[in-house]
Chains A and B, each alone.
Chain A
Amino acid sequence: MNQKTANLASPPRVSGGPVPDGPGAPGRVAPRRPARRRARGRQWPGAVFISPQMLVLALFMLVPTVYAVYESLQTTRLVGGTHYSGLANYGTVLHSPEFWDGVRRVLVFTVVQVPVTIALAFFFAALFDAGVVKYARFFRTVFFMPFAVPGVVAAVMWSFLLLPDFGPYAKLMRALGLGHVDFFSSKLILPTIILIVMWEWTGYNVTVLYTSLKSIPQHITEAAVMDGARLGTIIMRLKLPMVRPTIVMLCFLNTVGALQLFTEPSILAAFQPQAVSFGFTPSLYVYNTAVGTSDYNLGAAAAVVLALIIGALSLGAFAIRKRAGEFR
């Protein structure tokens, strides 16, 4: 699933409202049994309202999941056809260095990209909110713009911009006396992708945090000012704690998205095939296994493993947030 569409499909509500959950989080619990028969009819309109979404969820989430599990328990060979093979495919995935290599890479990516993006986003959102920037409205729009560019287009654009010999950034590096910089070399490919993803997502996070900051009542800030607090103190000691739920939620959303990293490296691979390996990220491993080598069974097993890993992380995060008293 593409990070962006996932978030657009259900825009996050700010300040501790209902939150879209990642795969594996518990769905809607069954409605409580009505006390009286007459009340039964009263639940219908609600059910009717959510039925399209439930239908889509069943069609595009539950059915494929069941099918993927079924597929993952079989093995198809070019010589001899398809047979039931139990957990053999899972063994192959769990013993595949390429798969774990991708998992490790994506964890490193997440640990770096998510905190840095959100810290940057909070910095700019706080600046805009404090009203110390001229033409703040214009800059807010500029910041948000990269998010309006589809990930695929952004990746294509950066592939050209960062070309090792002819790209403007390579020329800039030479002009700065840094010599020949290849952004797609094995050392720099991950930082490059981190930068691209940050470029795409910082603006989105700025917008969410800015909205959240705006919802802090004016009188609280005024009281702080009356007590002689400086701007830095107000931002760090007063506003930051007040938007904490939003930041936690953004961390969660960005993390789920980051773990599914696929679009950027897969587009870069079209331009720089040597830079992006077969299992560069777990999602790419799934895609290249199923689509590239037509091994649908192994791909399905890898997809299930990946879903379980992300699901476990999501549930863990969910439990932590619940304990922190976020869903009251």
Chain B
Amino acid sequence: MSEMPADEADRGRPRGRRRRWATATGAAVLATVVLVACGSIGDDTAASGGSGCHAGATGLTFWGWSAGYDLVVKKFNQTHPDICVRLENAGNASDEYVKVNDALKANSGTPDVAQIEYFALPSFEITKSLVDLAPYGVGDARADEAPAAWSQVTEGSAQYAMPVDLGPLGLYYNAKVFTEHDIAVPTTWSAFAAAADALHAADPKAAITNFDPVDAQPVLALMQQYGAFPFTYSGGDTLGIDFTGPAQTAFADLWQGMIDKKEVTTAADFSPAQWANLDSGANAARISPAWGPVGMQGSIKKTIGDWRAAPMPQTRAGQDLEGNWGGSTLAVVKGTGHAKEAATFVKWFGGSADAWQILSGDVAGAFPGYLPLLNSPAFQSRTLPISGTSQPNKVFAKAARNTRPAQWPPIMTAVLTQWTSAFAGVTKGTETLAEAFKAFQQQMVTYAKAQGFTVTEG
């Protein structure tokens, strides 16, 4: 901001020019120094740089945010003397993607390796921002990865990332509440709706679970599990969008019915309200990703030990459809000068016993897509205080093995950004889920066409 001109600025200046010259120059230099100093202080990247590095190693920059990644990186540096990975936290999920996009746009400051969730990979692939890892032999890791994880990082013969963890859904229910009201654990969605009726009839204050319409990821995971995933995409510039087909409408009607009858709450996911409902019995179950129980354990008090995992209800009895919420991959970002070393790092990070020993530990708590661990009895028989003596990993591991890959569209950034306001009315009760789907369908088709895609509807 500049100041208004003061016309008299030049008037009445005293003599003694040389000295004032020196003062003025000195002041200007000082001001500049101060400015430069201030500029260099605000370096806000939390670099836990090069821990455990050996001298003369090739340096790699790695952007990631998940807990415990620093410990895994340290282990890598110790066991790989010629590579030195520096982990920087550039923000969580979307915040990081924005920074990666900005750096790509600016052609400078991109990391060598970035943590990217499955749903965001196609968005980076279509802008040709990721390095194909196939020539670097990362494909050898295939046999050790859950099929759902593997097929989401590959496109044709190209491989754009190394899968790390998964988030298969399970029905995580409060056994005490279910027993108290004599409700059997539902195996189909129609049985689930009946159980919701029965529970609400027995206790008008109770709702069987929570459904947060404005949280895109769990809703999409549930749609996937219902066989109503709204996107079809397999690379290139043709994209299928379908929020209004028969399966999607059935899905919308199922949940809207329960919302209307107050049998399902619509609190924000991970909000104090949701935890309170789960802990008071106001919510008898949670549609939980595999990584959910660990976090839930820290957010509830009274019902620790009462929670059990069951397979997700199915659309038709005997089916085995699964949904996945969350999970990350490591990708090598275009512009790196060390693709070979980066490939070595990501392959080890997602597909080695050393890395998974730390990743599945108490700090990181990641749910493996890495089969040797996923299938091991030691992992499957783990217990958690929140689940008493039961073994939730058995249920989640089975779901992980049977999950089919979701075909994430390359427009997920726009989907997530516009989702919140598009579905706000469902939370408020001013519109139905089916109506919101219909409006969102229009929005997404318009956006995709404007981005140059050939869009198929239905």
Contacts and interface: CB of A to CB of B under 8 A. Distances in A.
Answer yes or no: do A and B interact. Answer: yes
Interface of A: 6, 9-10, 18-22, 27-29, 31, 41-46, 48-49, 51-53, 55-57, 77-80, 163, 165-166, 185-186, 272-275, 277-278, 288, 291-294, 296, 327
A53 B2 CA distance: 8
B114 to A, nearest CB: 15
B218 interface: no
B381 interface: no
B71 interface: no
Contacts of B9: 46
A78 B417 contact: no
Given A10-B3, A21-B4, A293 B28 contact: no
A32 to B, nearest CB: 8
B6 interface: yes
Contact of A273 (B6, B420, B428): B420
19 contacts: A18-B3, A20-B1, A20-B2, A27-B2, A28-B3, A31-B10, A42-B10, A43-B10, A45-B21, A48-B28, A49-B24, A52-B35, A53-B2, A78-B126, A78-B127, A166-B272, A275-B424, A277-B421, A278-B418
Given A52-B31, A57-B2, A45 B24 contact: yes
A77 B239 CA distance: 14
A218 B418 CA distance: 60
B125 to A, nearest CB: 11
Contacts of B136: none
A77 B4 contact: no
5 smallest beta-carbon distances between A and B, as pairs: A79-B452, A45-B24, A292-B417, A274-B424, A77-B452
A84 to B, nearest CB: 16
B456 interface: no
A254 to B, nearest CB: 15
A166 to B, nearest CB: 6
Contacts of A185: 428
A186 B428 CA distance: 9
B214 A20 contact: no
Contacts, number: 107
A292 B126 contact: no
Contacts of A277: 421, 424
A21 B451 CA distance: 40
Interface residues on B, range: 35 or more
B3 A80 contact: no
Interface string B399-438: 0000000000011011001101100100110000000000
Contact of A78 (B214, B273, B276, B411): B411
B1 A9 contact: yes
A278 B453 contact: no
Contacts of A294: 98, 101, 413
A153 to B, nearest CB: 17
Given A42-B10, A77-B450, A288 B417 contact: yes
B318 to A, nearest CB: 38
B79 interface: no
B302 interface: no
B272 A163 contact: yes
B279 to A, nearest CB: 13
A29 B17 CA distance: 25
Nearest to B25: A48
Interface string B430-458: 00000000000000000000111100000
Interface in B237-269: 237, 268
Nearest to B33: A52
B2 to A, nearest CB: 5
Contacts of A274: 214, 268, 420-421, 424, 427-428
Contacts of A278: 417-418, 420-421
Nearest to B4: A18
B414 to A, nearest CB: 5
Interface centre among B3, B35, B276 (most CB of A within 10 A): B3
B32 A6 contact: no
Contacts of B450: 77
Nearest to B99: A291
A157 to B, nearest CB: 15
B338 interface: no
Contacts of A77: 450-452
A53 B31 CA distance: 9
B5 interface: yes
B411 A273 contact: no
Interface centre among B126, B424, B427 (most CB of A within 10 A): B424
A41 B18 CA distance: 11
Contact of B413 (A27, A292, A296, A327): A292
Contacts of A327: 4
A322 to B, nearest CB: 10
A324 to B, nearest CB: 15
A182 to B, nearest CB: 9
A48 B428 CA distance: 59
A18 B28 contact: no
A293 B2 contact: no
B28 A52 contact: yes
